Structure formats: C-alpha cells, structure tokens
Amino acid sequence: MPLYKMSYLKGKKALITGASSGFGVDFANIFAEMGMDVILVARRKDRLEEVKKNVESKWGVSAKVIAMDLTGFDAALKLYQLTKDDGVEILINNAGYGIFGTAADQDAEEVNAMIQLNVVSLAALTNMFLKDMVKKDSGCIMNVSSFAGFNPMPLYAAYGATKSFVMNYSVAIHTELLKTGSKVIVSAFCPGYTNTEFIDVSRQEKSKFVKMAMGESYPAAKEAVEKMLSEKAVSMPRFINKFGAVLMKFMTRKRAAVNVYDAIRK
C-alpha cells in the first residue's frame, strides 16, 4: 500500500532537476496531474518556460522556473538555498548526462564536469533536502540512476561509474531510513536506453541492439513514481532491462563488460 496518497500530495511541491526535456518533463506532468505544484530546474530557460506553460494550463497547478547550471557542489547549495523554504515534499534528481567513447579519447575537463553534475550535485542535494525531510518525517527523493549502474559500461566508463554510485548511494540511504523507522523514502530509478535526448547529447551512434532496446520515457517515469511511492528501493522499467540485469549476475565483470561493449558499439 503506497505511503503517499493523492489527497496528501495535492498542493505539495515537487522539485525536478533536468526538467527541460525527457524524463524531467514526464515527471513534471505526472506530479502536476496529482495536483502538486512543481519547481522546474534546468539550464535552458526557454524550454523550462514552455514546460511551465503546458503544465499550468493542462493541470491547473503552479509551476516555478529556476534556470541554472547545476554542475558541482556550489550550484547544488545555491539551488537548496533558493528552495529550502518552499516546503519541497518530493525531490527528483534527474539532471545528468553521459559521454560516449573510449576513456582515452575523452576530455578530462568534460568528464570532470559530468561527474560534478551526476555525482557531486546529486549527493549534495540529496543530503541537504534529506535532513529537512527527516526532521519533519515526511518526503521522497528519487535519484535517477541507469541500467548502466549494474555493470561495467565500456564506452561509457565514467558515466556508468557515476550511475553505479547513484544506485548504491540511494539504496544505502533507503536502508538507513527503513532501519531507523523514518517515513522518508529514497529510491533509485534505473532505466535503460530510452527515447530522450540522452543519445544525442552523449554523441553515440545507435547500434542495432540500442535501437532494439529503446523504450519510451513516460511509461518508465510513471512506473518509477509508483514504485517510489510504494517505498521500493529500486525501480527498473521494462522486461528487457530486468532480464539483462539478472543475466549480468551470472557473468564475471569482465564478461559482462565485453558483452556490453559488443552490444552498444556500432
């Protein structure tokens, strides 16, 4: 039985990072449909304003736009300070991206920026909002990880490692809250290849496997929200992802890595 009922969430606030496209837009609509006001955070103000307009007109809720780059601890602290008095009930740490290619061919500065966003900013926001939620014994945090977090990810080596951190970090906190009797929920969302901007941003060319494995974002986001509100530690949409994750458990890490490389390299 879900801890959070629609009647409870109505009028509460959900803060969504990476809200200008893909899963971020889906989450904005899902929570707005529940009657929640939303705080939309991303770099592209024009896209955020478009999401705000659509959400407010479609669902009759209030949407607040914060256009900023969330890369690094200082950015996370700034966002927290801007929103700490808004009564955030749900935090969706969705901002993040990947860089495709061999590690030797990637730019160290670009990799660092990705790690700062995918790991440092996410962990800081989780920590700061978690403290407030624990004090009031209420709230949910969803950290967007990836199928890539379950195994070594050649050609996405650094990205996969960041998502492994996100998944293990989230599940560890989920367990701490469970064992201490807190009503706060922390959940990891682990989608596989999805029809969003991710592929284009990462500069990956789609292999036959990637094209075959591609799923749609809205059903996955909907399932992730339902799992979170039902107090699940991890949600992974679609059978192909769940089957793949189980299959990886029966392989050595090296074998799993070789299989991933062969599957995603065009």
Q: Is the separation of the CB atoms in 139 and 89 below 8 Å?
A: yes
18: nearest Cα among 94, 125, 75, 88: 94
| Active-site residue, selected from the candidate residues 159, 169, 193, 261 | 159
User: b/e map of 157-182 (b: 16 or more CB within 10 Å)?
Assistant: bbbbbbbbbbbebbbebbeebeeeeb
Can you say whether residue 218 is alpha, beta or left, with left for phi > 0 and alpha for psi between -120 and 50 degrees?
A: alpha
SS (H, E, C) the chain: CCCCCHHHHCCCEEEEECCCCHHHHHHHHHHHHCCCEEEEEECCHHHHHHHHHHHHHHHCCCEEEEECCCCCHHHHHHHHHHHCCCCEEEEEECCCCCCCCCHHHCCHHHHHHHHHHHHHHHHHHHHHHHHHHHHHCCCEEEEECCHHHHCCCCCCHHHHHHHHHHHHHHHHHHHHHHHCCCCCEEEEECCCCECCCHHHHHCCCCCHHHHHHCECHHHHHHHHHHHHHCCCCEECCCHHHHHHHHHHCCCCHHHHHHHHHHHHCC
Q: Can 97 be counted among the known catalytic residues?
A: no
Catalytic residue list: 159
